[in-house]
Amino acid sequence: MPGFTAPTRRQVLSLYKEFIKNANQFNNYNFREYFLGKTRTTFRQNMSQQDPKVLMNLFKEAKNELGVLKRQSVISQMYTFDRLVVEPLQGRKH
């Protein structure tokens, strides 16, 4: 289809890794888990999409959302939160 080049698998995986990396930078457990879950769900839902036009639109939208996520994770790092009871202890195996 002219004018619509679908993103490559490598580009999509790179974008997914960026989402995961930035979601993990949230200091607040609830926000971190929300964005990790949302990322996984969204990418899984669109995994079987084949239409190049739809894929390109999804990719562009995801890149825009990644920019928002990056800004929010930076803002999150400016504040400290008490650890919640449900958060795993760092360096300790269960």
Please list the pLDDT of the chain residue by residue as tens digits (94 residues).
456 688 999 999 999 999 999 999 998 889 999 999 999 999 999 999 999 999 999 999 999 999 999 999 998 888 776 777 777 766 544 4
Residue ranges of alpha helices (H) inside the chain are 9-23, 29-45, 52-76
Q: How far apart are CA 79 and CA 68, in angstroms?
A: 18
**pTM given for the model:** 0.79
Please state, in angstroms and rounded to a whole number, the distance separating the CA atoms of residues 6 and 24. Answer: 28
pLDDT score recorded for residue 39 = 97
Residue 4 has a pLDDT of 64
- Residue 19: name the closest of 36, 7, 33 by CA: 36
What's the one-letter identity of residue 3?
G
